Amino acid sequence: MGVTLTFLGSGSAFTVGADNFQSNVLLTTDNGKRFLIDCGTDIRFSLHKMNLSYRDITDVYISHLHSDHVGGLEYIGLTTKFDPACEHPSLYLSQDIAVDLWHKSLAGGMEAIEGELADLSSYFKLHPLKPNGNFTWEGITFQLIKLNHVDTGFMLMPVYGNCSTGLTEKET
């Protein structure tokens, strides 16, 4: 099975411009699965530019908690939850950032919905991973590599890069 890698942007949290989006990446399989690596605040615009929408995203991986990597999860979560044609996308992330993702980034806009108090599993099929764990998506194994992204002197903000096995260059 072939996998296509598409850069949805190459910018940062401070990126501005009609065609300059945050650095989110999309893996697409021949069978139509779409795996979003990080989900920044401008994801709806970068997807639209590629003629895609929230309906096309089947899986998401989050590397760390800055908004240019998680700010679009509210869009993906809410739209897929309230669209009866959608399944909840799978969400892969290190278990040590899952609680902070919800309480520090998403709960304010997503917790209170009609008839329930929601949590992260109300919107996504959760796959919390051990900090140095791995997971396999469509035959590709991703190994989490924990690094310190920001050291405030009082706390460390981790980032989880990954290395992949099973991904080969597709001939064109």
CB 162 within 8 A of CB 110: no
pLDDT digits (tens, 9 = 90+) for 48-107: 999 999 999 999 999 888 888 899 999 999 999 999 999 999 999 999 889 999 999 999
Supply 142's token pair.
């991703």
* Per-residue pLDDT tens digits for 4-45: 988 888 777 677 777 777 778 899 999 999 999 999 888 999
Tokens of 117: 């108090």
Count CA atoms within 13 Å of residue 155 on its CB side: 2
CATH 3.40.47.10 applies to domain 3-132: no
Domain positions in the chain are 3-132
Model confidence pTM above 0.95: no
Closest by Cα among 130, 124, 122 to 95: 130
Nearest to 96 by CA among 59, 144, 130: 130
DSSP single-letter state for residue 102: I
Q: What is the rounded CA–CA span in Å between residue 5 and residue 12?
A: 19
- Give the phi and the psi of residue 122 in degrees, each rounded to 5: -75, -20
| Residue with token string 């992949």 | 164
For residue 16, the one-letter residue type is: V
